[in-house]
Amino acid sequence: MQTDGSTTRPPRSTRPAAPTLLYARPGIVVTAERFSVGRASWPVAELTQVWTTRGPHDRLALRAVTISAALIGGVGVLLGFTGGLQRLTATAYLMLGAVGLLPLLLVVAGDRWRPPAYELWGRHRDAEVLLFSSDDERQFGQVTRALQRAREGARLGGGWTDPVASSGVWRPNR
């Protein structure tokens, strides 16, 4: 009992608090202390210089573009050496021009059907590490924001206590 008539209460729980969970989906867990994807896990405090980028284009689309461009170029060179370009009609030139656009159309279609993945990179102990990769833009944004919040909490070092809940409640002396 205190002299002003108020009583003090013991803390509610004496066991350590569970880590603050910022994001959790199957295979991906972001807490205030750790960033885990699959079997890989990194302490948030050790991750520096985190950045996002897009991954490489689809290999199949790149191969299709390369092969079609080579074939079209080969046909053009063959027609040039054989003198066939001088005997072509205007319609044939328009058809060659349209076929010449095929690699560009393949690039656009390949990026539309199989867009490059979103990648989250960072430095861990002076090594560049691919932290997370996804083709789902929404999930990628959620994971990136969760990691940013965890890094801000680790940088500030204050932990994740709610400032209103952790402050003492004012009670009048009666």
- What does the pLDDT read at residue 14? 54
31 with 150: CB under 8 angstroms? Answer: yes
- What does the pLDDT read at residue 128? 93
103 with 68: CB under 8 angstroms? Answer: yes
- What does the pLDDT read at residue 117? 87
| Alpha helix stretches (DSSP H) within 57-161 | 59-82, 90-100, 102-113, 137-156
Which amino acid, one-letter code, is at 133?
A: S
Measured between alpha carbons, how far is residue 110 from residues 35, 71, 100, 105, 172 in Å?
A: 32, 19, 17, 8, 69
Q: CA nearest 62: which of 54, 52, 70?
A: 70
- What does the pLDDT read at residue 105? 77
Q: CA 81, CA 84: separation in Å to the nearest integer?
A: 8
- What does the pLDDT read at residue 142? 94
Average pLDDT, consecutive stretches of 10 residues, N- to C-terminus, the chain (174 residues): 57 60 90 91 90 81 77 76 72 76 75 82 92 91 93 74 54 67
Measured between alpha carbons, how far is residue 9 from residues 164, 169, 174 in Å?
A: 18, 13, 17
Q: CA 29, CA 22: separation in Å to the nearest integer?
A: 8
Token pair, residue 67, equals: 């092969």
The set of residues, in sequence order, having a beta carbon less than 8 Å from that of 8 and lying 6+ positions away, is 2
Token pair, residue 22, equals: 């910022």
Does the reported pTM lie above 0.85?
no
Q: CA 31, CA 153: separation in Å to the nearest integer?
A: 10
